[in-house]
Amino acid sequence: MSSSSEPVALRLIDREFLIACAPEEREGLLEAAGFLDRKMRELRANAKAPSFERLAVLTAISVAHEFLSLRKQHDNQERRLSDGLATLRSKLDAALDGEPLRR
């Protein structure tokens, strides 16, 4: 990561935030802000005139919940894959033990 940083203007709902970041992080930060802005607008459309702060907290909870759910799914898939590979390895070892090596 570069030691220099530059300010990036991020817009969430009707507010602008100036955040310093490394040049190589700029695109990701803008993408994250766009995602957050869309989530906040989505929640605002379904709520009764929430304040910006309440909307930010609700959005943070929603995004954290989504992240944790996806992480749990990923961990479960990784565990199943690992178990499947262990089973295949055992079968391969058993098959190789039953046959003489051919050169």
Both structure tokens of 3: 């030691």
Q: Would you say 22 and 5 are in contact if contact means Cβ atoms under 8 Å apart? A: yes
The CATH fold of domain 6-98: Double Stranded RNA Binding Domain (3.30.160)
pLDDT of 79: 94
CA separation for the pair 23, 7 (Å, rounded) = 9
What is residue 10's three-state secondary structure? strand
DSSP 8-state class, residue 46: T
- 25-43 pLDDT, tens per residue? 999 999 999 999 999 999 9
Model pTM score: 0.70
- Residue 21, beta-bridge partner list: 6
**For 35-81, what is each residue's pLDDT tens digit?**
999 999 999 998 887 899 999 999 999 999 999 999 999 999 999 99
Residue-level pLDDT at 99: 62
Beta bridge partners of 7: 20
